[in-house]
Chain A
């Protein structure tokens, strides 16, 4: 059974760095073809893909946010991470992590973690 769970700070101030953790089970990021992606969704709005990391440590970023994003993984502890630097109120959203496979479909999703950027 594949499960994912996101964790984050809940609230942070503009200009700070947002650090998110995705803790998963039921698959390994050392397995060929496996990956984890991050997607966010402002309240009442659509889905925005942020970044993917693959079993071989290959990384892909949304070009519109690339300079602010860093994705990484800890294979031993079944975790993936996302950092977003210099946040502002526009980064307020629910952040999801999801398992991806070779066709880069988001097959399994976590429940999401709400992040609010406010001074």
Chain B
């Protein structure tokens, strides 16, 4: 299994930048693509795809969200954060059988 490691929680002031990290124990790059995706899950709701293949914005997602990284180190950035961004954020790899990170709970101060 490819293991994805995320920090459990992050607190950021309204209007500032939030950077959420995801580290893998194996390289998730393959033929020029990084098979890393990011999801947002608000309480009581299903997850929503934000970023796919490390840096591509999913349909309908505001440009405040961005992703970068390759190999084993990836980040999701929200800039600037809004109150509605309070949620848990998960990374997921699809280089091998899918696995998810444990999630980072974002608090907006």
Binding site for B on A (CB under 8 A): 37, 39, 46-49, 52, 60, 62-63, 96, 103-112
Contact = CB atoms under 8 A, between A and B. Distances in A.
Contacts, number: 57
Most buried by A among B33, B100, B103: B100
Contacts of B58: 107
Most buried by A among B94, B101, B102: B94
B1 interface: yes
- Majority secondary structure, B binding face: loop
Interface of B: 1, 33, 35, 37, 39, 46-49, 52-53, 58, 90, 92, 94, 97-103
A103 B97 CA distance: 11
B47 A49 contact: no
A47 B94 contact: no
A46 B102 contact: yes
Nearest to A108: B49
B98 A110 contact: no
B28 to A, nearest CB: 11
A46 B94 contact: no
